[in-house]
C-alpha cells in the first residue's frame, strides 16, 4: 500500500490528482481544510480534514499513513485578493508550506512534488518563459509561491529533500468522465466564468483591460488541461521514486490565446454566444504569460493530449451542466 499525501486534495487540481494517483495504483490521502475545497470531491482515498498551520494534524497524518511522497497543492491563489490582502497569502501559503515541509522531513518522507506557478515570472511581455527565466513576481500569490520554492531549495541542501517543482500556466477543463471538476466560490477563472455567463448564472463576462500590447488588446494566456497537468505530476512523482535528481518544470503548451480568442472558441464549443463587456485593467495582471519550455516533454515524456481550447472548453461545459458540487 503506497500512500501519497495530497494537500488541497479536495480542490480543483488536487482532486484530479487524487483520481490520477488512484488509477496508477497509489492511495491518495487527501489533506484539506475545506476552506475552498469540497468534501464531495474526495472519492479516491482517505480524507484528513486539517489545516497546514496545524503541525499536530500534519504529524498525525504522516504517522498514520506513512506516505512515500507529498503532492502539495494547498494554497490561496486569487490574484485580486493577493493584491488587497497579502498577509493572508504569506501566512497561509508560506508558513503553512514550511510546516508541511518540516513535518515531511521529520517523518522521513523526502519526495516532494510542489504545485508552483508561472506567476513567479511576473510580467515579462513578449518573452517565452523557460525554467531559467528570471522570477520577478508582481503580486503576493507569485511571491509566496517563489518563497516556497526557496524553502524547498534550502531543505534540499540541509535534509536531502528531493523535489519536483511544476510552474504551470492557466489550468482549464475538467475530468472527461464528469466525476469531478472546477467549482470555486466565488468563481474567477476565465472559462468557468464564461460558461456561467452563457448559462445565465451571471449577467455577463467582464474582460479586464483592452489596451495591453497584445494582438487584440486583451491579456494572453497559455492554457493546459487539468488532466494533462496532473499526468505531469504523476510523472514527476515517478521521477522522484526512481531516484532521479530534483528538477523544475514549466507546464504549458507554448500557445497563447487572448481573452477574445477564448470567447470565440467558447462560442464554437457550446454553440452559444458569450455575453460580455469590457472593463478596466486589474492590478497584478500580466499582459502575456506563455511557456517557451519543452523540458517536461523531453525529460518526463509528458504529452498534453487534451490541451486544445476546444477540448478544454468542451470538458468544462460538460461538467458545468452537471451543476457541480452542492453547498
Residue 154 φ then ψ, to 5°:
-65, -35
Residues in the chain: 327
Question: What stretch of H or E contains 70?
Answer: strand 69-72
Distances (CA, A) of 311 to 9, 225, 235, 318: 24, 8, 22, 10
d(CA 139, CA 118): 12
Known catalytic membership, residue 141: yes
Exposed, middle or buried, 83 (CB in 10 Å: 0-12/13-18/19+)?
middle
CA dihedral 164, 168, 173, 177 (to 10 degrees): -10
**What is the rounded distance in angstroms from the CA atom of residue 249 to the CA atom of residue 163?**
11
Relative to beta strand 256-258, strand 220-225 is antiparallel
Nearest to 272 by CA among 313, 232, 211: 313
CB half-sphere exposure, 250, CA atoms < 13 A: 25
* Annotated catalytic residue, options 12, 44, 65, 141: 141
Residues 233, 20: contact at Cβ < 8 Å? yes
Question: Would you please indicate which residues are annotated as catalytic (active-site) residues?
Answer: 141
Amino acid at each position: 500500500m503506497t500512500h501519497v499525501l495530497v494537500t488541497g486534495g479536495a480542490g480543483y487540481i488536487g482532486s484530479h490528482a487524487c483520481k490520477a494517483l488512484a488509477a496508477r495504483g497509489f492511495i491518495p490521502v487527501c489533506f484539506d481544510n475545506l476552506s475552498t475545497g469540497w468534501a464531495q470531491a474526495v472519492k479516491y482515498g482517505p480524507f484528513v480534514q486539517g489545516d497546514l498551520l496545524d503541525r499536530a494534524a500534519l504529524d498525525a497524518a504522516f504517522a498514520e499513513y506513512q506516505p512515500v511522497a507529498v503532492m502539495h497543492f494547498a494554497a490561496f491563489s486569487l490574484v485580486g485578493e493577493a493584491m488587497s490582502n497579502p498577509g493572508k497569502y504569506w501566512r497561509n501559503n508560506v508558513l503553512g508550506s514550511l510546516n508541511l515541509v518540516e513535518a515531511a522531513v521529520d517523518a522521513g518522507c523526502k519526495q516532494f512534488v510542489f504545485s508552483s506557478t508561472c506567476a513567479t515570472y511576473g510580467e515579462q511581455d513578449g518573452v517565452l518563459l523557460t525554467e531559467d527565466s528570471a522570477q520577478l513576481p508582481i503580486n503576493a500569490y507569485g511571491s509566496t509561491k517563489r518563497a516556497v520554492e526557496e524553502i524547498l531549495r534550502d531543505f534540499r541542501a540541509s535534509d536531502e529533500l528531493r523535489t519536483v517543482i511544476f510552474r504551470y500556466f492557466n489550468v482549464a477543463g475538467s475530468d472527461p468522465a464528469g466525476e469531478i471538476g472546477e467549482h470555486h466560490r466565488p468563481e474567477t477563472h476565465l472559462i468557468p466564468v464564461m460558461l456561467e455567463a452563457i448559462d445565465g448564472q451571471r449577467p455577463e463576462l467582464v474582460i479586464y483591460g483592452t489596451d495591453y500590447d497584445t494582438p487584440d488588446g486583451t491579456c494572453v494566456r497559455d492554457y493546459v488541461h487539468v488532466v494533462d497537468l496532473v499526468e505531469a505530476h504523476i510523472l514527476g512523482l515517478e521521477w522522484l521514486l526512481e531516484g532521479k535528481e530534483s528538477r523544475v518544470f514549466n507546464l504549458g503548451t507554448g500557445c497563447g490565446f487572448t481573452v477574445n480568442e477564448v470567447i470565440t472558441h467558447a462560442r464554437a464549443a457550446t454553440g452559444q454566444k458569450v455575453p460580455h463587456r469590457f472593463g478596466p485593467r486589474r492590478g497584478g495582471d500580466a499582459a502575456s504569460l506563455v511557456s517557451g519550455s519543452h523540458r517536461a516533454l523531453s525529460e518526463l515524456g509528458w504529452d498534453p493530449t487534451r490541451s486544445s481550447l476546444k477540448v478544454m472548453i468542451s470538458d468544462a461545459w460538460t461538467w458545468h451542466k452537471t451543476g457541480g458540487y452542492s453547498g
